[in-house]
């Protein structure tokens, strides 16, 4: 008797692949994810895989899940969201990948797809795999207050300079009035942190992170034009950033001085706005594109040779405006032109013969590679080259210099436990150096490492490389001379203006006298 065919009665859930959004089968993103050959070379370089040891929290595992969503084999489930949001976006996997997978673009696409599915991103609060977590995870972003804060941050604060200024003026008042000291010494901050709010247990870290913002309470716009010191070599546009100009105003001012010291006329358009980097990294791609268009409109008016940025995270997004706007017929070509002009300040200056009028800085510095410079823009040697060009400054080695510090935009605020794990590893290496200064080209890394330095009580200063170059020029007396030249230039300008006025009055009086004499002759 013929045996009955074995029929398996397993049922699989019906999942429809997305019909719109970047994780569809017929997209550019789908082609990018299919470049992955599953070799696993990226796994040892991935910080989240190093901490969790879970394939789904590795680059290869994440790409696998994205492809499964695109093909309708996987839903945009809570697990999927969690694995995507757990990625720090460091792009170390891109550096390791032999197949040229552009993971940064993929993770941004996945997060955009999550936003389109109208699912609120969740924060991993424990550094153990999701499957091993027993209790329901508290989640500030998932609450109504968290959602409102999320919308305020991305839709209202970042795109508007007045609102950003107002928010950060509040922070500066808190820091400068002595309130911060009081809150810390009396334990008030711990009380606030423990209150049963949606941010319970999550307030302390941002408070520590934002330790000392520089600049005025309500900083003026940076000057629209700063003239080159000496002969003008280039006309460059300067991107002042949104949070950068509120928290690290001193770095922006130093950047403009150093550019001017090296023959640049620096244009800082007052109408520029946030570059959209935090939006794009967080899945708010539509808003990011809108900001990109506005910046292109603004900078086009000035016809600059280059567009300079001093923040690694922003720079990597500005260089990808062409990718972000590739499907926009009105902006695709203009975005290409814009992106080709963008240079990180260290990349730009390293390509010049530097003004050599520098004084000595007899100290030891270690350099931390910001992920979006080293992995995102492949800029590693240029900042080191600048530091080495400063007389007296000794550059010492930092182990795992290009390993993420856990900052990653606002990652350290929403995924605090993972952020802290990564900071711990970074600080072990920082503490092992003999450096007095840690230099890094990204404001987020500066805040994160500075917090680590304070937590460990290390006698180290955390700076942007451009601040050291600026200090060297100050020591070399370059700005004093330039000021002198500027004053002489201005006073000779005033003299010329006076001469012109005298000449015009003379001509006017001569003309009136001529009319008078003509009138008398006719009589
Ligand atoms: S971007 Fe960084 S954290 Fe994310 S998968 Fe790649 S290496 Fe891992
Ligand atoms: S190294 Fe590149 S190709 Fe290999 S698994 Fe990782 S992403 Fe895929």
SS3 of 104, please?
helix
CB atoms near residue 369 (< 10 Å): 24
- 88 CA: nearest ligand 1 atom: 3
32 and 104 assigned to the same domain: yes
Pair of tokens at residue 381: 């040697």
Q: How far is the CA of 38 from the centre of ligand 2 (A)?
A: 5
78-136: pLDDT as tens digits? 999 999 999 999 999 999 999 999 999 999 999 999 999 876 544 444 454 444 443 33
Residues 296 and 340 placed together within one structural domain of the fold: yes
User: Ligand 1: does its nearest atom lie under 6 Å from the Cβ of 66?
Assistant: no
Rounded to whole angstroms, the Cα distance separating 259 from 240 reads 13
| Residue finishing a domain among 321, 350, 379 | 350
Ligand 2 midpoint to CA 61 (Å): 10
Asked if residue 301 is part of any domain, the answer here is yes
Question: What atom in ligand 1 is closest to the CA of residue 59?
Answer: 5
State the total domains in the chain.
5
pLDDT tens across 7-19, in order? Answer: 555 555 688 889 8
Q: Which atom of ligand 1 is nearest to the CA of 49?
A: 8
Q: Residue with the nearest Cα to atom 3 of ligand 2?
A: 36
Q: Is residue 189 part of a domain?
A: yes
* Lowest pLDDT segment from 246-255, 361-370, 373-382, 489-498: 489-498
- List, in sequence order, every beta strand (DSSP E) within 447-519: 461-463
Residue 57 belongs to a domain with what CATH number? 1.10.1060.10
346 and 402 belong to one structural domain: no
CA dist., res. 423 & res. 442, Å (int) = 15
Which residues, in sequence order, are bridge partners of residue 235? 265
C-alpha 80 to ligand 2 mean position (Å): 19
Cβ within 8 Å of residue 409, ≥6 positions away: 89, 277, 278, 281, 282, 313, 444
Helices (H) and strands (E) in the chain, counts: 26, 9
Q: How far is the CA of 203 from the centre of ligand 2 (A)?
A: 37
Q: Which atom of ligand 1 is nearest to the CA of 92?
A: 7
What tokens appear for 421 in the block? 């794990």
Give dist(CA 478, CA 494) in Å, integer.
Answer: 24
Output the residue whose Cα is nearest ligand 1's atom 5.
Answer: 59
What's the pLDDT tens digit per position in 16-38? 889 899 999 999 999 999 999 99
Whole-angstrom distance, CA of residue 467 vs CA of residue 473: 10
Q: How far apart are CA 211 and CA 463, in angstroms?
A: 14
Q: 436 pLDDT band (50/70/90 cuts)?
A: very high
Cα of 26 from ligand 2 centre, angstroms: 21
Say yes or no: CB of residue 343 within 6 Å of ligand 1.
Answer: no
User: Do 318 and 423 fall into the same domain?
Assistant: no
Are residues 368 and 415 located together in one domain of the fold? yes
**Ligand 2 centroid to 330 CA: how many Å?**
35
* Buried b / exposed e along 29-43 (16+ C-beta atoms within 10 A): bbebbeebeeeeebb
Interior angle at CA 308, CA 302 and CA 311, nearest 5: 135
Which tokens belong to 104? Answer: 């940064």
* Domain boundary pick from 294, 322, 350: 350
The CA 508 to ligand 1 mean position distance, Å, reads 74
Considering every ligand atom shown, identify the ligand nearest to the alpha carbon of residue 45 and give its number. Answer: 1
Q: Pocket residues for ligand 2 (CB within 6 Å)?
A: 36-42, 59-60, 63, 93, 96-97, 99, 101
Of the candidates 40, 136, 151, which has an alpha carbon nearest to the alpha carbon of residue 93?
A: 40
Which of 61, 87, 122 finishes a domain?
122
Considering the entire predicted model, what is its pTM? 0.85
467 and 396 in a common domain: yes
Domain that holds residue 405: 364-475
Residue 100 CA: which ligand 2 atom is closest?
2
Of 32, 36, 40, 47, best ligand 1 pocket probe by most atoms within 8 Å of the beta carbon: 47
Q: Which of 26-35, 138-147, 401-410 has the lowest mean pLDDT?
A: 138-147
Q: Is 350 in the pocket of ligand 1 (CB under 6 A)?
A: no
**Which of 434, 310, 423, 428 is CA-nearest to residue 365?**
434
**424 and 376 both lie in a single domain:** yes
What separation in Å is there between the alpha carbon of 140 and the centre of ligand 2?
33
d(CA 374, CA 377): 6
Tell me the C-alpha distance between 248 and 157, whole Å: 17
Over residues 154-169, mean pLDDT: 93
**Does 515 fall in a domain?**
no
Nearest ligand to the C-alpha of residue 111? 1
Q: Cα of 404 to ligand 1 centre, how many Å?
A: 9
Q: Which two tokens stand for residue 375?
A: 């992995």
SS3 265: strand
* Highest mean pLDDT (candidates 135-149, 203-217, 304-318, 479-493): 304-318
Higher pLDDT, 195 or 111: 111
- Give the CATH number for residue 296: 3.40.50
């Amino acid at each position: 008797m013929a045996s009955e065919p074995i029929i398996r009665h397993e049922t699989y859930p019906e999942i429809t692949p997305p019909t719109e959004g970047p994780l569809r089968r017929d997209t550019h993103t789908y082609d990018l994810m299919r470049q992955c050959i599953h070799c696993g070379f990226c796994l040892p370089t991935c910080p989240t895989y190093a901490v969790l040891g879970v394939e789904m929290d590795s680059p290869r595992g994440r790409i696998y899940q994205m492809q499964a969503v695109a093909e309708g084999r996987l839903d945009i489930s809570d697990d999927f969201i969690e694995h995507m949001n757990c990625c720090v976006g460091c792009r170390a996997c891109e550096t390791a990948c032999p197949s040229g997978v552009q993971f940064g673009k993929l993770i941004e696409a996945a997060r955009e797809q999550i936003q389109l599915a109208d699912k609120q991103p969740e924060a991993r609060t424990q550094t153990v795999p999701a499957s091993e977590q027993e209790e329901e995870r508290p989640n500030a972003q998932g609450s109504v207050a968290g959602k409102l804060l999320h919308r305020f941050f991305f839709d209202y604060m970042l795109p508007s300079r007045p609102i950003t200024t107002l928010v950060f003026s509040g922070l500066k008042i808190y820091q400068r009035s002595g309130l911060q000291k009081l809150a810390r010494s009396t334990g008030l901050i711990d009380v606030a942190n423990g209150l049963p709010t949606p941010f319970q247990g999550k307030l302390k870290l941002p408070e520590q992170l934002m330790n000392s913002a520089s600049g005025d309470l309500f900083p003026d716009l940076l000057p629209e034009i700063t003239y080159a010191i000496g002969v003008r070599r280039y006309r460059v546009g300067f991107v002042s950033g949104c949070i950068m100009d509120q928290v690290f105003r001193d770095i922006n001012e130093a950047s403009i001085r150093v550019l001017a010291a090296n023959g640049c006329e620096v244009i800082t358009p007052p109408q520029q706005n946030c570059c959209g980097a935090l939006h794009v990294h967080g899945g708010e791609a539509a808003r990011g594109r809108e900001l990109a268009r506005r910046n292109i409109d603004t900078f086009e008016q000035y016809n600059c040779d280059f567009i300079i940025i001093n923040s690694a995270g922003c720079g990597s997004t500005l260089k990808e405006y062409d990718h972000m706007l590739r499907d926009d017929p009105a902006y695709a070509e203009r975005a290409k032109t814009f992106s080709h002009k963008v240079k990180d300040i260290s990349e730009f200056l390293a390509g010049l013969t530097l003004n050599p009028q520098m004084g000595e800085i007899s100290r030891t510095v270690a350099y931390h590679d910001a992920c979006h410079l080293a992995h995102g823009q492949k800029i590693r040697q240029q900042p080191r080259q600048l530091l080495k060009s400063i007389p007296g400054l000794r550059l010492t080695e930092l182990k795992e210099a290009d390993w993420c510090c856990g900052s990653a935009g606002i990652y350290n605020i929403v995924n605090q436990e993972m952020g802290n794990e990564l900071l711990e590893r970074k600080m072990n290496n920082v503490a092992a150096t003999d450096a007095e200064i840690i230099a890094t080209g990204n404001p987020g890394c500066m805040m994160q490492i500075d917090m680590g330095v304070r937590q460990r009580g290390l006698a180290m200063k955390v700076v942007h490389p451009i601040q050291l170059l600026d200090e060297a020029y100050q020591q070399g007396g370059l700005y004093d001379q330039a000021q002198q030249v500027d004053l002489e230039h201005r006073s000779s300008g005033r003299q010329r203006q006076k001469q012109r006025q005298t000449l015009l009055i003379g001509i006017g009086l001569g003309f009136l006298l001529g009319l008078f004499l003509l009138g008398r002759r006719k009589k």
